[in-house]
Structure 1
Amino acid sequence: MRTRTIAKTRSVPVTIDGRTVLVEEPYVVRVPVPPRDWDRAVRTGLLAVAGIVGTAAVTWSTVSIGALLQTDVPAAAAYAAAATFDLLWIGCMALEWLARYDPARATAPRRAGWVALVVAMLAITAHGNMAGSLAIGLIGSSVSAGAKTLWWLTLRSFTNRLTSRTQQWVDALRAESEGQLALIPVRRELARARGTVAAEEAALLARPDAGPDPDPEEEGPDADVVPIHQTRIVVSAKDAVRDAWDVGLRDEETIRRVASTAHGSPISEATVARYVRALKVGA
Structure 2
Amino acid sequence: MKFKEEIRRRLVDHTVDGVTHQIAQPYKVRVPVLPADWDARAMKAVATLVLVLTGIAIAWSTVSIGQLLQGGPGYAAAALFDISWLSVLLLEWMARFDPSKRKFARVLGFILVGITAAAIFWHGMLAGSVALAVVGAMVSIIAKALWMAVFKHVDGQLSAEDRQWVAAEMSKANAQIAIAGVRRQAATAEVRARLELLAAEKALGELDEQDANTDEPAAVLEPLRVPLNSANSVPEQGLSMAELARQQLTAGASNKDAADEILRRLPEANPDSVQATVRREARRLTRYM
The separation in 2 between residues aligned to 1:53 and 1:131, in whole angstroms, is 24
Alignment of 1:228-267 (within 5 A): none
- In the TM superposition, residue 157 of structure 1 has moved relative to its aligned partner by 2.2
> For the residues of structure 1 that align with 2:48 and 2:170, how far apart are their CA atoms?
32
SS at match of 1:31: strand
TM-aligned CA deviation for residue 233 of structure 1: 6.8
In structure 1, how many angstroms separate the alpha carbons of the residues matched to 2:20 and 2:119? 82
Look up the equivalent residue of 1:62 and give its one-letter code.
T
Distance 1:214 1:232, change over 3 A: closer
Q: Secondary structure at the match of 1:82?
A: helix
Unmatched segments (≥5 aa) in structure 2: 224-289
Structure 2 residue matching 1:30: 3-state secondary structure: strand
| Per-residue CA distance 1:175-208 (angstroms, 9 max, x = gap) | 1111111222311222233334445566379674
* Structure 2: distance between partners of 1:43 and 1:158: 9
Instruction: For residues 148-178 of structure 1, give each alpha carbon's deviation from its aligned partner in whole angstroms, at most 9, with x where no partner exists.
Output: 0101211232221111111111111111111
Paired residues for 1:183-202 under 5 Å: 183-199=179-195
Aligned to 1:2: 2
d(CA) in 2 for partners of 1:199, 1:128: 66
**Residue of structure 2 in register with 1:39 after alignment:** 39
1:24–1:157 CA distance, 2 compared to 1 (3 A): same
Kindly report which structure 2 residues correspond to 1:51-70, keeping only aligned pairs within 5 A, or say none.
51-70=51-70
Specify the SS of the correspondent of 1:160: coil
Aligned CA distance change for structure 1 residues 10 and 172 (closer, same or farther; 3 Å): closer
SS of match in other structure, 2:131? helix
2:146 aligns with one of 145, 150, 171: 150
Quick check: 1:134 aligned with 2:135?
no
Distance 1:28 1:142, change over 3 A: same
Q: CA deviation at 1:23?
A: 7.8
2:6 is paired with a residue whose SS is strand
C-alpha offsets along residues 208-261 of structure 1, whole Å, 9 cap, x if unaligned?
A: 46635656xxxxxxxxxxxx9769879xxxxxxxxxxxxxxxxxxxxxxxxxxx
Partner residue in 2 for 1:105: 101
- Which structure 1 segments of 5+ residues have no match? 216-227, 235-283
Report the Cα distance in structure 2 between the residues aligned to 1:108 and 1:13, rounded to whole angstroms.
Answer: 62
- Verify: 1:76 aligned to 2:77, yes or no: no
User: Kindly tell me: are residues 20 and 195 of structure 1, through their superposed partners in 2, closer, same or farther at Cα, counting changes over 3 Å?
Assistant: closer
1:211 aligns with 2:212: yes
2:160 corresponds in structure 1 to 164
Q: Relative to 1, partners in 2 of residues 1:233 and 1:35: Cα closer, same or farther, differing over 3 Å?
A: farther
When residues 129 and 186 of structure 1 are mapped into structure 2, their CA distance, relative to the original with a 3 A threshold, is same
Could you say which residue in structure 1 is the equivalent of 2:174?
178
Return 179-188 or 192-201, whichever deviates more: 192-201
Aligned-pair Cα RMSD in Å = 3.4
Query: What's the secondary structure of 1:6's corresponding residue?
Result: strand
Counterparts of 2:147 and 2:167, CA distance in 1? 26
User: Given residue 117 of structure 1, which amino acid in structure 2 is its aligned partner?
Assistant: V
Picking from 102, 118, 130, the partner of 1:122 is 118
- The one-letter code sitting in structure 2 at the alignment partner of 1:170 is V
Identity %: 34
Alpha-carbon distance in structure 2 between the residues aligned to 1:186 and 1:21: 52
The residue aligned with 2:239 is none
Determine the C-alpha separation between the residues in 2 that align with 1:196 and 1:23.
55
Partner in structure 2 of residue 28 of structure 1: 28
CA pair 88-9 structure 1, distance change in 2 beyond 3 A: closer
- The alignment partner of 1:64 has SS state of helix
Residues in 1 aligned to 2:21 and 2:119: alpha-carbon distance in whole angstroms: 79
**Cα shift readout 1:86-137 (whole Å, capped 9, x = no counterpart):** 1111111111111111111222221111001111111111111111111221
Larger relative contact order (C-alpha < 8 A, sep ≥ 6)? 1
CA distance in 2, matches of 1:12, 1:198: 58
